[in-house]
């Protein structure tokens, strides 16, 4: 079961990986294509985490159980900007 704390921890890990990718690119350890591919995946994962936190808070605010919130599919979360 995900908690707000565990979701925030995962967000921190994803952000750390973003920084590592940029450093690896700067050192020539990975290609721009490799960096971009993984950055896109990280962005989706981060969006899903933030969405899950918003769902949990919304459920709390409505007097519902935040643990009933679930990770939405990438295609749902990413279409928020459309």
pTM: 0.87
DSSP-derived secondary structure letter, 81: G
Q: Kindly give the confidence (pLDDT) of every residue in the chain, 82 residues in length, as a single tens digit, with 9 standing for 90 and above.
A: 789 999 999 999 999 999 999 999 999 999 999 999 999 999 999 999 999 999 999 999 999 999 999 999 998 887 765 4
Of 48, 46, 47, 45, which Cα lies nearest the Cα of 72?
A: 48
């Amino acid at each position: 079961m995900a908690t707000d704390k565990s979701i925030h921890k995962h967000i921190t890990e994803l952000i750390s990986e973003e920084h590592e990718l940029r450093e690896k690119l700067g050192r020539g350890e990975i290609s721009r294509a490799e960096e971009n591919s993984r950055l896109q995946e990280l962005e989706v994962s981060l969006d899903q985490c933030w969405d899950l936190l918003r769902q949990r808070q919304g459920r709390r605010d409505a007097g519902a159980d935040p643990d009933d919130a679930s990770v939405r599919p990438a295609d749902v979360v990413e279409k928020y900007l459309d």
